[in-house]
Structure 1
Amino acid sequence: MCLQRGCTCTLKYAGGIPLVSPCLKNILFLANFLTWLVGFTMIGIGVYAKVEKQYSHGLSELAVDPATPIIIFGCLVFLVTFFGCVGALRENICMLKFFSFVMVFALVVEVGCAFAAVILSDSYRESLGKLMYKSIEHYRNDADVNDLVDWMQEEFKCCGVIELKDWSYNEYFNCDINNPSLERCGVPYSCCKVDEDANITDVINTLCGIGLQNSEDSNLYIYDQGCLDSFLLWVHDHLFYISFFLVVLGCIPQILGVMISRILIIQINDQYRFIQLGLLVDSGDIEYLGS
């Protein structure tokens, strides 16, 4: 229980008695509680997506399964915000210290990744390319990967990783003459160029990419630029907005969380000292102030 009934957002003492700011407690609790709900929702969505598939993927497919990173990130958010939420509510120093430590560690990792992305840009490009190739390989075998690849190709108007022939890495679109698939040597419909002037009542040719991998005039019907370059170009063009978004919604809330948790730790420690000296009872009420 705090000594002050109002809302004090700074470290303050009243009559020599240290106060635990109810305003800071409520801000930290509410922010962590809302983020905790987000983490819980992410876990639920990820688990639901896993269950809906009704079959388990091999270890090689975990890297391209969108549900996996959603579950992992949701669990991390759920755990960390739980400590921040309960620590602020119960004025628990250990939980607040753990929360602030994780926030500082996350900030260091984020800044490190940002510098690494600049310094090791070629390595990041190579890793991203491998992930895209893995996604092409498992296309048609995973509904989530299907949707993700189709969205990327339609959004960035691209096809394949480097070129459209990358679709030969997929067993259904492979150009091998022994491939029995009806989509042999083709590309998915998401690679096809869309006629902007077409009427919504027109019949859509979803087989427009069949047999076009080795066609000399394929660029008339499908996108000929790879998705790796298209995506990196989009990131380069929108780097300012991406950085602004990450700083405003990522770094600044984390820094504020660290600052508020550290202030609360100081205030709680000061009250503990007064309790040990017999000036306050455990409830936080004044027992003896002296004359």
Structure 2
Amino acid sequence: MAAEGGSKVIKYLMFFFNFIFFVCGLVVIIGGALVLTQYSEYVDFTGSMGNAIPIVLIIIGVFILMTGFLGCCGAIKENYCMICTYAFIIVVILLLELGGGIAGYVLRDDIEDAVRKNMEDLMPKYISNNNTKNVFDKMQEELKCCGTNNYTDWASILSTGNVPDSCCKTETAGCGTAFKTADINTEGCVDLLNKLLVDNIVLIAGIAVAVAVIQIFGVVCSCCLMRAIKSEYEVV
């Protein structure tokens, strides 16, 4: 039975919000893929968390995309069961997002401690392990940092007065040997890497809030449409 009057407005509003929801799913998937690419360079320091965050994002994005598609189909076909299923799934997603947000806030200090510990454990392997050396050099070059806490951490790994060349502001062969403090990046990498993590988490949180607002509108519209469809069938 075709929706009429106010229910038709609700129907198209629900379709509109779910189309946006569908697009948000695509954005989350793309964002997760980009974050996964970025974190893959630092996975030795971030541990399993480095891959877990973007993978979870991609999974959520796929779920959002499929749910948005279900909501669009339910609205166009005015199918009571599809709309009811859609509303239930949206409520579940909202609860999962709330739980994930609370968990992220509670565990934020543990994440920083884990990154610091991984970095400190890997530093002694800089000379003996070529992969570790490449990871540290790449991180220090890109983040403009030196050592875990600061440049003095290298004194116990290399001979005193030396740092890796990747610590130099202008990198040249041997620039880290008998360096001058003014010529190197002195800030520790752990703080800058944590800032990178936090910045990405804040961006993700902003997207999550925007998606949550759309979800709430979607639930309200779906409930109104279900009520309208049920009333029309009762009249018939």
TM-score, length-normalised on structure 2? 0.65
Residue in 1 that maps onto 2:224: 267
1:141 pairs with 2:128: no
Structure 2 CA distance for partners of 1:63 and 1:168, relative to 1, 3 Å: farther
Structure 1, gaps ≥5 residues long = 5-12, 54-58, 177-184, 195-203, 280-291
- What residue is the counterpart of 1:128 in the other structure? 115
Distance 2:115 2:102 in 1: 20
Output the CA distance in 2 between the equivalents of 1:247 and 1:268.
30
Alpha-carbon spacing, 1:111–1:254, altered in 2? closer, same or farther (3 Å): farther
- How many pairs align? 218
Aligned to 2:211: 254
User: Relative to structure 1, is the Cα distance of residues 109 and 36 closer, same or farther in structure 2, using a 3 angstrom cutoff?
Assistant: closer
1:1-291 alignment runs, 5 A limit: 3-4=3-4, 14=6, 18-19=7-8, 21-41=10-30, 63=47, 69-91=53-75, 92=82, 93-114=84-105, 116=106, 121=109, 123-133=110-120, 141=131, 147-152=138-143, 154=144, 158-164=145-151, 166=153, 174-175=157-158, 186-189=163-166, 191-194=167-170, 205-209=172-176, 212=177, 218-229=180-191, 248-251=206-209, 253-274=210-231, 276-277=233-234, 279=236
Q: Given the superposition, is the C-alpha separation of residues 108 and 30 from structure 1 closer, same or farther in structure 2, using an over 3 Å criterion? A: same
**Structure 1 letter corresponding to 2:231:** F
CA contact (8 A) 1:107 1:254 kept: no
* Residues 62-87 of structure 1 deviation map (CA, whole Å, 9 limit, x = unaligned): 82695664334212211233213322
> Which whole-Å CA distance do the structure 1 matches of 2:68 and 2:217 have between them?
11
Stretches of structure 2 lacking an aligned partner (at least 5 in a row) = 76-81
Q: Measure, in 2, the Cα distance between the counterparts of 1:62 and 1:224.
A: 21
Structure with higher Rg: it is 1
Structure 1: which amino acid aligns with 2:131? N
Q: Cα gap change, 1:145/1:271 in structure 2, threshold over 3 Å: closer, same or farther?
A: farther
The one-letter code of the counterpart of 2:164 is V
- Give deviations 1:77-136, integer Å, cap 9, x for gaps: 11233213322332422133212321232134314533x36xx74x44322312444676
**Residues 168 and 175 of structure 1 are in contact (CA less than 8 Å); yes or no, is this contact kept in structure 2?**
yes
Tell me the distance in 2 between the aligned counterparts of 1:129 and 1:62: 9
Partner deviation per Cα, 1:142-200 (whole Å, 9 max, x = no partner): 87886455322x2xxx211113354589xxxx549xxxxxxxx64142x1124xxxxxx
Give 1:282's aligned residue.
none
| C-alpha contact 1:35 1:81 (8 A) present in aligned 2 | yes
Structure scoring higher RCO (CA < 8 A, sep ≥ 6) equals 2
Q: Compute the TM-score of the two structures, normalised by the length of structure 1.
A: 0.55
Amino acid at match of 1:98: I
Displacement, 1:230?
Answer: 5.2
